Structure 1
Amino acid sequence: MVERESKVKTKANTKKKLLIAAGVVVVALAAALIFISNYLVNYAIGRSGNGGDREVALEVDAPADSVEAVMEDNRAAYKSKIDTFTKEHPGRDVTLTADDGLTLHGVYYANAETADTHRWALVLHGYRGDYTGALQLAAPYYEAGYQVIAPDLRACGESEGDYVGMGWLDRKDVLQWIDYIIEQDPEAKIVVHGISMGAATTMMTAGESTPDNVKAFVEDCGYTSVWDIFSSELQLRFGLPEFPILYTASGVARLRAGYSFTEASALVQVAHCEKPMLFIHGTADDFIPYEMMDTLYNAKPGDNKAELTAEGAGHGEAMYALGDSYWDTVFDFIAPYMA
């Protein structure tokens, strides 16, 4: 009898120890997951994160030598154009207050000679850049007679913010910049043109209700959603699947940055866009897959849309691969709406 009771106690103690051990493991795994998720949020969207240091790439066909040579020549031409533009037109610093109280910075390139045309371009830079990353857009628009605003997106450049908005938080800021333009010129006719994250911002803005002054959108190599691009990068950079880390990191981002990776969707926003939009992408983009352009294009309702493919162009390189035809296409597309 005593022996049986002893065995029962032993089994009970063993079960208790196993439960405690299992609990410790679960707590440890949960703690590790929370730690990794916080690290990922800091890395990807924290202001001081180093998510912009990218040493991996999607597998794509390398551009032909002839295309690479053209891009190299055009890169040099753009650099010269931008250097001349910034020397001759230093621009004027402007600030505004975002809905959440942050001070946002931008540079205003006033074009006094053509002010009576009321044409404005709002040009948006890419991931972890600043307004200078949109000068390759600003200079051609200015030369074409546009007034130009080049903002620092939140948590970039001189704009305040602890977390990069990836386009989602920025869409509200862009609406503020649009209002700023209309305050300067109530008759303004505005095109919003962005590259990479700036393109995602453009599309996310396009899904909002915008004033009649906004006439057209141009997106160059934007992503379908933050979830999609982070899922791809998680696999490429760390060799990790999206579950469970991206799910928990998305929740952490919601708590810390004010948005989740799932809600930040250009694809959903584009489906609500009724205004004209031009989609541009390079076939050799090793960061944001070229196929995303078709997905986004097909989601955009109506016939007031067009696609421009840059054969052999990498990420953000369409203008270098296409040369003059890039801007010929852009201006031909928006011309009917900016008249």
Structure 2
Amino acid sequence: MKLKKVLQIGAPLAFSTGTAVVSAILYQYAFKRADVPAQPPRITADSPYYVGDQWYQQVAKEKWQLNPSDPEQQIQGFYIPAKDPDSKKAVIISHGYKGEARNMAGSAKLFWDDGYHVLMPDNRSHGGSAGKYINFGLLDRLDYLDWINKMIARLGPDCEIVLYGISMGGATVMMVSGEELPSQVKAIIEDCGYSSVTEELTYQMRVQFHLPKWPFLPVVSGINRITLGISLNDSVSSISQLHKNTRPIFFIHGAEDTYVPTYMCIDCFNATDAPKDMWIVPHATHASSYATDPGEYTRRVQRFLAKYVPAEKERD
């Protein structure tokens, strides 16, 4: 066989093989769950999250579950009753990428101090929940419908529910926003969530690995379809779901965020016609808006909720 013929056959084969290998490595890197450390990282007393973490370790909580009879689909969450058992305010909090419920202790305490019952799930393939591969909120959004219904069953049909999430959790609650939500869901707060999984992965491939979207992302999407049963097209994304959203939503994002770039927040804000507000936090990097100015963060969250949660009272 002449060299030209060998190259004509071999070059595409080598390209296809190389693409498949690189895509498989990318998939494992981005989607494989992180092992839960035997000992969580210690938060020092000078951290803005220290008080919340200490509170979380000591406060009474209940372990809730979805799919308790199926070990491969079992999902856990931690429910913390409000100080006032008659409170009708509740928040469901979604954590970030490769995090877990405990990482949201500071946010949970913010709401708990304000009289809310708090539910903090470990999303699929995170913390103590089952799963081998992370779905970036594409499937988690459906679990949150079940968490909402469990909260209503616990507190009664007159409860008032807020959805709150940071980073991947922010994207998750945005994706939940486009589902058919019960009337008890009054408002949503998302902090530094991405506009779509494909947009975020494309950005990360370019920034971290200097790789283009094509041909790698379509192969990664195909692997995900085989592994988790859902492709990475934008038929389900923060943007597409926000087009259907009717709930008031508060968008928060760090002005110096280079992990989920700030333009994604603006794109998400523009995607919904529901009542909305946006705060681009000066000097804040990714998922650090609260740490950058805890007092102002708390005031803005409470001021927003006072408009849309009937049981909430405006704070001075």
The correspondence for 2:108, drawn from 113, 138, 141, is 138
Shifted more, 194-203 versus 262-271: the winner is 262-271
- 1:205 has 2:176 as partner: yes
The Cα of 1:82 is off from its aligned counterpart by 2.6
| Equivalent residue number for residue 20 of structure 2 | 34
| Equivalent residue number for residue 267 of structure 2 | 295
Q: How does 1:33-72 map to 2 (within 5 A)?
A: 33-48=19-34
| Equivalent residue number for residue 318 of structure 1 | 289
**More helix by percentage:** 1
The Cα of 1:180 is off from its aligned counterpart by 1.1
The Cα of 1:95 is off from its aligned counterpart by 1.0
Distance, in Å, in 2 between the alignment partners of 1:96 and 1:116 is: 25
Residue type of the alignment partner of 2:65: T
Shifted more, 254-263 versus 131-140: the winner is 254-263
- Asked if 2 retains the 8 angstrom alpha-carbon contact of 1:124 and 1:150, the reply is yes
| Equivalent residue number for residue 255 of structure 1 | 226
- Asked if 1 retains the 8 angstrom alpha-carbon contact of 2:52 and 2:105, the reply is no
- Asked if 1 retains the 8 angstrom alpha-carbon contact of 2:170 and 2:191, the reply is yes
Q: How does 1:142-157 map to 2 (within 5 A)?
A: 142-157=112-127
Residue type of the alignment partner of 2:183: D
Match of 1:179, SS state, is helix
Greater RCO, 1 or 2 (C-alpha within 8 Å, sep 6+): 1
| Equivalent residue number for residue 331 of structure 1 | 302
Residue type of the alignment partner of 2:8: A
Q: Cα gap change, 1:30/1:48 in structure 2, threshold over 3 Å: closer, same or farther?
A: farther
Q: Cα gap change, 1:47/1:77 in structure 2, threshold over 3 Å: closer, same or farther?
A: closer
Distance, in Å, in 1 between the alignment partners of 2:258 and 2:309 is: 33
Q: How does 1:121-200 map to 2 (within 5 A)?
A: 121-186=91-156, 187-200=158-171
Residue type of the alignment partner of 2:251: F
| Equivalent residue number for residue 110 of structure 1 | 81
Match of 1:316, SS state, is coil
Match of 2:259, SS state, is coil
- 1:307 has 2:278 as partner: yes
1:16-53 CA distance string (max 9 Å, x none): x644542233223222212221211111112259xxxx
Shifted more, 218-227 versus 17-26: the winner is 17-26
Residue type of the alignment partner of 1:300: T
Distance, in Å, in 1 between the alignment partners of 2:51 and 2:155 is: 31
The correspondence for 1:91, drawn from 57, 61, 71, is 61
| Equivalent residue number for residue 269 of structure 1 | 241
Distance, in Å, in 1 between the alignment partners of 2:4 and 2:147 is: 60
Give structure 2 stretches of 5+ with no counterpart: 36-43, 311-316
Residue type of the alignment partner of 2:100: D
Distance, in Å, in 1 between the alignment partners of 2:34 and 2:56 is: 27
Q: Cα gap change, 1:152/1:298 in structure 2, threshold over 3 Å: closer, same or farther?
A: same
| Equivalent residue number for residue 251 of structure 2 | 279
Aligned length: 298
Distance, in Å, in 1 between the alignment partners of 2:271 and 2:230 is: 23
- Asked if 1 retains the 8 angstrom alpha-carbon contact of 2:34 and 2:98, the reply is no
Shifted more, 197-206 versus 251-260: the winner is 251-260
Distance, in Å, in 2 between the alignment partners of 1:97 and 1:188 is: 24
TM-score, length-scaled by structure 1: 0.83
The Cα of 1:234 is off from its aligned counterpart by 0.5
- Asked if 1 retains the 8 angstrom alpha-carbon contact of 2:51 and 2:106, the reply is no
| Equivalent residue number for residue 65 of structure 1 | none
Residue type of the alignment partner of 1:241: P
The Cα of 1:316 is off from its aligned counterpart by 0.6
Residue type of the alignment partner of 1:190: I
What is the alpha-carbon root mean square deviation over aligned residues? 2.1
- Asked if 1 retains the 8 angstrom alpha-carbon contact of 2:53 and 2:102, the reply is no
Identity of aligned residues (%): 30
| Equivalent residue number for residue 8 of structure 1 | none
Match of 1:178, SS state, is helix
